[in-house]
Amino acid sequence: MQRAPTDEELLTSDDPDGFGEFYARHLSAVEAYFARRVGRDAAADLAAETFASALIARRRFVPGNAPALGWLYTIAARRLVDYQRRGLVRARTLDALAGEVRVRDHAAPSPEIPGELDAGLLRHLPPDQRDAIIAHVIDERDYQQLASESWVSEASVRQRVSRGITALRPPLQVYRASRQLARQDRVYRFGGGHFKPLRSIEPREPLDCSASASLILLGAGLFEPGPAWNSSRLAEAWGRPGEGRYFTVWANDEHVWIEFKLDADHGERFDPTPSRLAPNNTWLRSNTGPTRDFLPRHWPGL
């Protein structure tokens, strides 16, 4: 009976199928490693990043220096740190821009903020507004210094920051309202809040998807005070048809959920229906699920 090759032999083999066998042997375990730490939604992507990095680095692997499996999990741990770092940057950016506050987190690492934001949250802004926001809100540099470096007036720099934040405020307010509602530990109830005046909904009152969406849009200033709408009305009458730049309300006659595209590399969705919940029972999570049979609606300009 032929002996199965070791992990070390697979990594150092000249056989093109060697790494494929190594991948198949450990994929499930690496995905489980990530799922225990960040949930299933992100685990598959992080596992793919890990094996892609391993494929590139395999020529530097030296048998005997470290076990192959330990080498692989070292790469996985680095990908996990990168993922968590991106989350810290994203959370800091969203909070800073949504509230126009100056945030300094000395415990957080110092990532390459301009590159991430250029491809993410600020990607739809004119370059002068994007650069001014990165420099002032995120890097915390004062207006006078920026004006001197840019050869423009201090008022011009202030105007660029103000216009950029004004454009970003509505989608960030929708996202903030979604996060607040998701943290309220409400119970999902079919029909909960239907046609009830939104101002009269209690903080812990059970809600369904359409009442939740109505409450979120009201909190962001994109919905008139009054009764909650059902999903079919949201699909027909809220905003305009089509997907938005930063967020989209997806609805049909039976269900509604909100998709956020505040980053370039992944999305999130607010979706309270129990059958669609992630393992940790959160109403706001990484965006997964089909859009077929749902109609997209967006707010003009957003």
SS3 per residue for the chain: CCCCCCHHHHHHCCCHHHHHHHHHHHHHHHHHHHHHHHCHHHHHHHHHHHHHHHHHHHHHCCCCCCCHHHHHHHHHHHHHHHHHHHHHHHHHHHHHHHHCCCCCCCCCCCCCHHHHHHHCCCCCCCHHHHHHHHHHHHCCCCHHHHHHHHCCCHHHHHHHHHHHHHHHHHHHHHHHHHHHHHCCCCCECCCCCCCCEHHHCCCCCCECHHHHHHHHHHHCCCCCCCECCCHHHHHHHCCEECCCCCEEEEECCCCEEEEECCCCCCCEEECCCHHHCCCCCCCEEECCCCCCCCEEEECCCC
Residue 96: inside a domain: no
| pTM for the predicted model, two decimal places | 0.60
Give the chain's domain count. Answer: 3
Looking at residue 116, its pLDDT comes to 39
Q: What is the largest CA-CA distance in the chain?
A: 79
Residue 294: inside a domain: yes
Shared domain check, 174 and 162: no
Which of 91, 124, 143 is at the close of a domain? 91
**What confidence tens digit (pLDDT) does each residue in 84-111 have?**
776 665 666 666 565 543 333 333 333 3
Lowest mean pLDDT among 65-74, 78-87, 152-161: 78-87
Question: Rounded to 5 degrees, what are φ and ψ at 62?
Answer: -115, 115
What token pair was written down for 296? Answer: 């997209």
**What confidence tens digit (pLDDT) does each residue in 161-187 have?**
878 877 887 888 888 888 888 888 788
Which of 34, 66, 91 is at the close of a domain? 91
State which residues form the domain around 133.
101-168
Which of 30, 62, 91 is at the close of a domain? 91
**What confidence tens digit (pLDDT) does each residue in 208-244 have?**
899 999 999 988 888 888 899 999 999 999 999 999 9
What token pair was written down for 276? Answer: 């669609």
Residues 121 and 136: beta-carbon distance below 8 Å: no
